[in-house]
Structure 1
Amino acid sequence: MKNESYGADECDWIFGGGQPCSSTDKSPGKVIFTQAGEHKITLRVWNAVEERTSQQTLRVDAAMTIDFDFTVAINDIAPGTVSIINKSKGGSQYEWTFEGGIPSTSNQQHPGTITFADGGEHKIHLRVFNGSKYEERTKTLTLQPPIQADF
């Protein structure tokens, strides 16, 4: 934290949810917030004549990782039923797109099972939001064409 106060002889910091939780140093330096959410920071400064207080709210978002896997039921021949396994952490909103899939989109954290009717490459795209930023990841599923009999 950087103290931009002037005219004060003493100061007192309170870091709601921070480590350390308080300081009397003019510039307390690094404060660590381990929990996501809003944290109130209060600075009280004074001298022999007067006292002033300033308060600000700091928003800390969850650390985010984005990853998913999928497994194809039975075999890789279309039509294929695919189970999606979301391994992402720290997200608050999820936007899935399943190219050629039924359903074609989902906003569920765990979208479950998706059916792909046709063979070929199908892109599975995930976009995750953690409160302040988006991260994205795309993987490709390949299914063989449906079996056919011909002579």
Structure 2
Amino acid sequence: MTWRFYLLVPVLLALSACAPAGPGMHRSDITGIEGGFSERTLISVDRDHLLYGQVLALRQAGQTSLTVEIGQAIDGRHYRLRMDDAYRDGAALRFDGVSRREEYCAPGFGCRGYRTGFIHLSAQDFSDAARRGLRAHLIGPDAMVEIFVPAEQFQQALRQAQLMGVLP
């Protein structure tokens, strides 16, 4: 990976803020980003939080990003969670937490939530998740949270990206 790949992260933030809740495709002639995304679905429920996830399979300038965006619904009972790291089976995953209050839209809650962060996956990890789903733990100053992103979400993003010719 080159440093240019990390330039995709701010663009991912902008794209995901306006991505619809259902699966679909995106192409922008302005940014050069194209790819597919899954529906947003509940990936963790607890008395202290409701977390949603959406899988993104995007390409810009020949660089591919396979990412799980995580956001939190705020319903008046749950407080905002800040997360710094993600782990699966004791191994660290590449995670970009969001340190400021970025709006997040969750199905049934409108845009009253907060973006929590992004898990970036290798092609092999993405392929494995498309078969088995992704179970991971998010760790931050506010909590340790287990999440499960169903295999169907990875399959949806993969299908959409394949229809656009972004992934084989």
Greater fraction helix: 2
* Larger relative contact order, structure 1 or 2 (CA cutoff 8 Å, min sep 6): 2
Determine which structure has the larger strand proportion and give its number: 1
Larger Rg belongs to: 1
